[in-house]
């Protein structure tokens, strides 16, 4: 990852076909677009590649999560259980529909700890939202069992893990709905974009309308469409979809390169006895966009980060514990309720309690964790060189 590393002629061809017509909007202007419908083609490609019945493109991964939450009926007062390790978009989407994000600990999968989920369920819980972080799946068997036992929705945030699988099925296609991001640093990029997938036809119909002001899209005259329900403007443009279409057709190419380079890096790091690797519930389903590993202590992890900075090789290696965007420790704006719009009383109450919550179980894991991203452009020699430099730095702190 990411797909922009291999941006080339395929992407330019699709974009130029849109530019030739001048029709940049995904809906309407049927005659002028000369039969070119890049968003529709990309949705069909997603369905074909991921073996899912329906896909709805939107403007971002955040919009995908927001749209999915709304269409699944999640709103004011409903609690959504999500992990302490994710991107800020996950809780932003929950807050945007009026619901309450309930953050719980992760385990060494770097995803939701099923026992922490079980302990967090209340009468207000409506949904469990696992986030398949860093390219690998959560423990979906355990989470599905919990959802079924308590009649909860399962919404998969697969924004970081396009191409990952769980027991033969692509993550994002297993729950009631799944969300993907196609932003600039994802395995497949549209520049900006996202998608919601589902196997339920009724859910898809609602997704299609909600993401376009509530248009029912049943006629040939867009201006005469009915609006059975409220919706918002989360549309993707044809230009963004054109880039994504070319990239999505290359998904297997990207995954193959990731797996090749991932194997090289992990093999070299495996020779270091002091480190251990992330637990992956289905090793064969790892998309291999990164390698996540643990040092034995926070002290050693921070010493290594200092070493990597000093040697100018920190780029591509992420220490999430100090990261501003991906771990609860530095989500001060969330804990301090720093928002322009007013929150509802349930949201305020839940967020005010965040600062006093005990997330020591997550801290113990994340304070020792480093994730090494895998490039699509590395040659075998480059992958070995980078892994060898990283190994030498790790060994130097012991």
Cite the active site residues.
Answer: 186
Buried residues in 120-148 as b, exposed as e (16+ CB within 10 A): bbeeebbbbbbbbbbbbbbbbebbbebbe
Buried residues in 293-330 as b, exposed as e (16+ CB within 10 A): bbbeeeebbbbbbebbeeeeebeebbbbbeeeebbbbe
Order of strands, edge to edge, in the sheet holding 276-277?
276-277, 290-294, 369-373, 317-318
Name the residue among 371, 366, 357 with its Cα closest to residue 316: 371
In the chain, count H helices and then E strands.
Answer: 14, 13
3-class DSSP state of 365: helix
- What's the CA gap between 24 and 91, in Å, rounded? 31
Name the residue among 152, 151, 77, 141 with its Cα closest to residue 109: 141
- What's the CA gap between 395 and 12, in Å, rounded? 44
Determine the straight-line distance between the first and last CA of the chain, rounded to whole angstroms.
30
Query: Which residue(s) pair with 112 in the sheet?
Result: 106
> How many Å is the Cα radius of gyration of the chain?
21
């Amino acid at each position: 990852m990411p797909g922009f590393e291999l941006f080339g002629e395929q992407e330019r061809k699709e974009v130029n076909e849109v530019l030739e017509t001048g029709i940049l909007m995904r809906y309407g202007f049927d005659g002028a677009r000369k039969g070119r419908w890049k968003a529709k083609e990309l949705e069909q490609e997603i369905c074909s590649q991921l073996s899912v019945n329906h896909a709805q493109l939107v403007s971002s991964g955040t919009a995908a999560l927001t749209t999915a939450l709304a269409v699944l009926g999640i709103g004011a007062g409903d609690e959504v259980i999500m992990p302490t390790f994710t991107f800020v978009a996950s809780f932003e989407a929950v807050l945007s529909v009026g619901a309450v994000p309930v953050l719980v600990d992760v385990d060494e999968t770097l995803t939701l700890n099923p026992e922490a989920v079980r302990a967090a369920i209340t009468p207000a819980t409506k949904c469990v939202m696992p986030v398949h972080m860093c390219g690998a799946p959560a423990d979906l068997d355990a989470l599905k069992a919990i959802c079924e036992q308590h009649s909860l929705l399962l919404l998969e945030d697969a924004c970081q893990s396009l191409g990952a699988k769980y027991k033969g099925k692509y993550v994002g296609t297993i729950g009631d709905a799944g969300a993907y991001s196609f932003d600039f640093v994802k395995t497949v990029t549209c520049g900006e974009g996202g998608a919601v997938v589902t196997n339920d036809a009724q859910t898809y119909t609602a997704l299609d309308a909600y993401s376009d002001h509530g248009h029912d899209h049943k006629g040939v005259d867009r201006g005469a469409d009915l609006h059975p329900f409220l919706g918002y403007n989360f549309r993707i443009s044809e230009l963004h979809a054109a880039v994504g279409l070319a990239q999505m057709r290359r998904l297997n190419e990207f995954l193959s390169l990731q797996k090749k380079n991932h194997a090289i890096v992990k093999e070299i790091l495996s020779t270091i006895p002091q480190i251990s690797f992330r637990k992956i519930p289905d090793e064969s389903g790892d998309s291999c966009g990164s390698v996540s590993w643990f040092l034995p202590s926070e002290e050693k992890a921070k010493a290594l980060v200092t070493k990597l900075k000093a040697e100018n090789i920190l780029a591509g290696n992420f220490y999430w514990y100090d990261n501003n965007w991906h771990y609860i420790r530095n989500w001060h704006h969330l804990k301090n309720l720093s928002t322009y719009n007013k929150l509802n009383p349930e949201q305020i109450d839940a967020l005010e309690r965040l600062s006093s919550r005990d997330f020591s179980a997550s801290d113990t894991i994340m304070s020792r964790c480093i994730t090494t991203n895998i490039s699509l452009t590395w040659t075998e020699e480059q992958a070995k060189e980078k892994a060898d430099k990283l190994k030498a730095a790790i060994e130097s702190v012991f």
